[in-house]
Amino acid sequence: MHSLTPSSGISLKSVRRPAPFRLVPTRLVTQCAYRFDSANAPNAAANASAPAPAPPPSLTNYSGGVGRSRADWQSSCAILASKVVSQQQDTKTAGGADNLTAVNGHKTLDLVPIDNLPRPLTITDLSPAPMHGSDLRVAYQGVPGAYSEAAAGKAYPNCEAIPCDQFEVAFQAVELWIADRAVLPVENSLGGSIHRNYDLLLRHRLHIVGEVQLPVHHCLLALPGVRKEYLTRVISHPQALAQCELTLTKLGLNVAREAVDDTAGAAEFVAANNLRDTAAIASVRAADLYGMQILADGIQDDSSNVTRFVMLAREPIIPRTDRPFKTSIVFAHDKGTSVLFKVLSAFAFRNISLTKIESRPHRNCPIRLVDDANVGTAKHFEYMFYVDFEASMAEVRAQNALAEVQEFTSFLRVLGSYPMDMTPWCPSRGD
């Protein structure tokens, strides 16, 4: 082989390079135009030994192209397009059970039918309403028959209610994925706030995703056959005893009152220990569950007895503006309570209504010492403030209000922005 260098004496112009190999697309077009037709399979099999017919001259007389002119190329493409369209129409008309689609004469499977594609998520899917989420595991404090169980059933119908012996256990059940939600009381129209749960809201990192209000209907329960004259003791939750104090006096019951953890637990305790001298204050459902008789129905001092419960989850929901929302926050300031007026003015200026304000001692710094050269050393109590206001965090006015509150406080946390319970309310009645 000669070396192509100037000293070799061979002219570069005299070297002829071989023509590059080119794939002529007309051969593919010719094969597709005269493809194997499954409809003529029997005739094709019978004539398998016969020599193949010669292709039309218009397609074979080519020199480096499909035809001799542009018109030949356009006619070939038109023939192929008409063939494919006719095959697709035949496939749709036949509508075979296997849903096969023919492409250039070859049947292919449609692996992902367009009709079966998943529907995109919407904001409605991401922000469930209070009635959404059935078949969830919902933790509550108490035993079966407690008012908290009824609240869990109202918040999440058909849920799997998980009883917990303490409020903190219900919080931990959600944090440890034992339960999906927790429904816990935070305030009662007669007894006031449940301070324990407010402290736990700050200690744990769960989010309020909804609220539910439950009318409370108290009953005096005893074992079957026991009369009121034989009673020497009544047990129940401390708030239930306080809410029925006047009615118990009117019934002429000169009995001792003892507090237990929950109302349904009191009924269970009387039934399990066969205490014929003890009555319990609990719900109608507790009487059915533990085989108790109702000595007196609706013994609460005020028929407008409602308990507000909050629904807790590991993740917050996306706030919306298409329905009434409520937002709960907690804040504190390192200079005491003097900033409270400025915080409240941030909401009043934007016409945001407050539905609750609650103060709790600042456990990490309960007392603040103030030194004054003229007066001396003064001690002030430090507080955390819990505020509920009627606005969604999706509203600009709520965002601006919290931005202003953050300027006046040293600590601010949004506990949740959630739909308000707008179900019609009526005085408590028996089930």
Active site residues: 307, 309
How, if at all, do strands 137-141 and 376-381 pair? unpaired
HSE-up of 182 (CA within 13 Å, CB side)? 31
Six-digit token string for 183: 């429904």
Close Cβ partners of 234 (under 8 Å, ≥ 6 residues apart): 220, 241, 248, 253, 255, 256, 257, 258, 278, 279, 280, 281
How, if at all, do strands 293-297 and 219-222 pair? antiparallel
Q: DSSP secondary-structure letter at 178?
A: S
Residue 210: burial class (beta carbons within 10 Å; 0-12, 13-18, 19+): buried
Look at the block and give the residue holding tokens 């697309």.
25
CA dihedral 189, 195, 200, 201 (to 10 degrees): 50
CA distance 181 to 367: 35
Is the CB of residue 371 less than 8 Å from the CB of residue 361? no
